[in-house]
Amino acid sequence: MDFRRLFRLSATGLTAAVLLVSGCTSGGSSSGGASPESGAPTELKKFYGQKLGWRECGVPGFQCATMKAPLDYDKPNGTEIKLAVARKKATGPGKRLGSLQVNPGGPGGSAIDYLQGYAGIGYPAPVRARYDMVAMDPRGVARSAPVECFTGPEMDAYTQVDQTPDDMAERDLLAASYKKLAQGCEKRAAEVLPHVSTVEAARDMDIFRAVVGDKKLMYVGASYGTFLGATYAELFPTRVGRLVLDGAMDPSLPSAELNRDQTAGFETAFQAFAADCVKQPDCPLGSGSPADAGRRMKDFFNDLDTKPIPTGEQRELGESLATTGVINAMYDESGWPGLRDSLRSAMDGDGSGLLALADSYYEREGDGSYTNLMYANAAVNCLDLPAGFTRPAEVEKALPSFEKASPVFGTGFAWASLNCAYWPTKATGTPHRIEAKGAPPILVVGTTRDPATPYKWAQSLAEQLSSGVLLTYDGDGHTAYGRGSDCVDTAINTYLLEGTPPKNGKKC
């Protein structure tokens, strides 16, 4: 298990992909010239004025290009990096409103994969009709100067390290695995590692806004993508158009508190799963109360800690991989039936189902390689905020509070909070309130039983933003847009198409 404050991708994107103000924006030319009112500082004019060479790529109907940005914004005439971008032109009918940037979260999720696998084909038709759907893999992610850290076999070993250490030897092994990850990233990505912060990614977004010809940013960000969007609004409040922040983060919280809140969020999601499971005739956790189901789940994890089970391949299913598999199914209630099946098989001695869920979480490919999701995740998180804990003794002191937050997952989440302690680059960000004074209405969306971004974070962000508007979805799963609620989708569509947000505090 390796959560590392992983806010993760939009649940809708995970399900659908192979693997989310007023006034209109300027039209923008197909050549991608910068808007005359891009507001670019003199030293950045060459980036804001660049033209993109769009070409057909990957999925029919989508175009890709490469955009340049400075590696270090303090040294704009120094090293440049190439960022991958993609678009799907507005289909019509109706007047084109500009470009709608999307980001699925992570940090570390590929926005281009999300665009091609879901947003560009699965967002409501009226939105796709009026907007060019566009995406940029953030710096350090996927196709954009990616952070690389491990070989496939090294990552296999890393994902199997016991993250609920029972003694000093296991504690040392866990700490050593975090150190090895940090060393691997430093060895393979030393140049880019200090420059993958969310602030820098938000500045890249503004260049992208300009080169596609938009005066204002139109944006839908899910999960971590809400922090990216809020950071943009903080940096460029007068360039905000219509921002949807779905499954919101709270930028004011320190890392340890974020981790503890997320621990409680996954416990809430597990209790919802357990309450549903015990009503089913095939529930592998029994037919008692949700609390009984939780105790049986914990007992099962403990059994795997001492005696892993076969999976049909060389890797066995131990506690860490099994817990990761269960966590993966908590992001979307549509995964509950499959989780019941996988748990039942595992309790009968076949761990292949839970292993497949864990591999999906880590984005492990069929050939044993991995995408760089987890490496980028650590790199961005460890740069954005100081480590939650700096040494094992601090984790041990905090264990009771994490175990109270989640009897099922608390111990593992607490130890996962140690990973940034050994990171080779010093954090450049700090927890702080984001107000974005001067921005037009920004729509913040929260789901009441969201596991990865607890609902109270959405409440907090909407309160912090000077123009924040809160939309609540009373439901399960991670994020709300495009997940089956006509009430949510109608409110967001109206905002994106007409610039009219719902009444603050609206509930669906």
475: Cα separation from own chain's centroid: 19
Contact 439, 238 (CB under 8 A): yes
Cβ–Cβ < 8 Å for 491, 472: no
- Catalytic hit among 10, 246, 255, 478: 478
CA distance 247 to 178: 28
450 is catalytic: yes
DSSP state of 93: S
Q: Report the distance separating Cα 189 and Cα 380, nearest Å.
A: 13
Query: What is the SS3 assignment for 473?
Result: strand
Helices (H), 452-504: 455-464, 486-498
Q: Which amino acid is at 386?
A: P
49 close to 68: Cβ distance less than 8 angstroms: no
Cα separation, 71 vs 230, whole angstroms? 22
Q: Tokens 């909407």 correspond to what residue?
A: 462
3-class DSSP string for 295-314: HHHHHHHHHHHHCCECCCCC
Distance in angstroms (rounded) separating the CA atoms of residues 82 and 55: 16
Task: Write phi, then psi, for 288 (nearest 5 degrees).
Answer: -85, -145
Q: Measured at the alpha carbon of residue 376, what is the angle toward residues 373 and 380, in degrees to the nearest 5?
A: 135
Q: Is beta strand 63-70 parallel, antiparallel or unpaired with respect to 105-106?
A: unpaired
Catalytic-labelled residue, pool 38, 223, 255, 320: 223
Question: Which of these is catalytic: 2, 132, 450, 489?
Answer: 450
- Whether 223 is a known active-site residue: answer yes
> What is residue 83's three-state secondary structure?
strand
Q: Write the secondary structure of 265-298 as one string of H (helix), E (strand) and C (coil).
A: HHHHHHHHHHHHHCCCCCCCCCCCCHHHHHHHHH
Q: Which residues are catalytic?
A: 223, 450, 478
